[in-house]
Every structure is written in structure tokens, then in C-alpha cells.
Amino acid sequence: MVYTPTVQTFKTKFARGQFPYGTVLPDILDQDITDAIAEAEAVFNPGLYPEDYPEIGTLCELYLAAHFLVTDVDAADSGGQTRLLQNARSVDGVSESLEIPDWMKKGEFAFYSTTYYGQKWLILTKPYLDGAVYAIGGATLP
């Protein structure tokens, strides 16, 4: 059973300065975290993760909530402009090129690959999305 994270669980997980928590904007408010957890819950499938290790599912849901929090903060900062996938940029003679694996940037995964936290959620969740395939020897009778 995966446990829905709380605001305090979120703050404990991301306590190394990843997010500037506070009670006044532009800091991250408790309501921002609550909203991000609710968004994560809307798309999170707890059935993907092993029941005997609930901390794995909870960890994945925390990263998914962090992804939604970052996208919400970015949307507020940009006035609602979308953030597209970028694999190259150049400023004042300095060039940077980033490459995300194809499976992450195609189809339904593309949205999650736009933030570090979404990518981390994908990496942690991928083994449960792929499943396991086993071959069992045997034969059928006519």
C-alpha cells in the first residue's frame, strides 16, 4: 500500500534547499505543495509499485509531486507560457546541448521529462511499467 504524502513528508524529503519554503510569495507555500500532491494523485497509479515495499511507491509519488510543483512555479514565473523540451541553446558564445532518452521524450512521457523530478520519477517507475517476461518450458497436448 502506497501512502499519500503530506506537506511535512514532502518538506522532509526535499529539505536540502531544493525549494524555498515560506509563508509569503514567492516562497513555496504549503498550499502549493498540497496542490502538487493532488495533481500527482490524479495521475499516480499505486498499483504499479510493490505492496511489500510501500516506501518505493511513496518515494515515486514525492518525485511526481515535485515535478508538478516545479511546473506550477515555472508557469507562475512565466505568466503561463509553456515550457517545451530543449536539446540545445546558445548564449554569448556558450553552447549547451542536452539529450533526453527517446523513450522519455516521446508519447505520454514527454511531459514528465521536462523537469529533473519528472525524469527521476520516470527512472524509478520504468521497471514497473515494463513488467517482467518469463519463459516457462512446456508443451500442449493435442
DSSP string, 41-100: HHH--GGGS-TT-HHHHHHHHHHHHHHHHHHHHHHHHHTS------SEEEETTEEEE---
pLDDT over 90 (residue 8): yes
Domain membership of residue 39 (yes or no) is yes
Structural domain includes residue 51: yes
Q: Is residue 97 part of a domain?
A: no
pLDDT tens readout for residues 55-90: 999 999 999 999 999 999 988 876 765 555 555 667
Helix, strand or coil for residue 21? strand
Domain membership of residue 65 (yes or no) is: yes
Structural domain for 41, as ranges: 7-82+115-130
Q: Give the pLDDT confidence score for residue 3 in this predicted structure.
A: 78
**Residue 27 forms part of a structural domain:** yes
Q: 0.85 cut: is pTM over it?
A: no
Above 80 in pLDDT, residue 104? no
Number of domains in the chain: 1
Q: Is the residue at 92 inside a domain?
A: no
pLDDT of residue 50: 87
Q: What is the dihedral of CA 42, 49, 115, 98, to 10 degrees?
A: -140
- 139 part of a folded domain: no
Is 35 domain-assigned?
Answer: yes
Reported as a single tens digit per residue, the pLDDT across 10-60 is 999 999 999 999 999 999 999 999 999 999 998 898 888 888 888 999 999
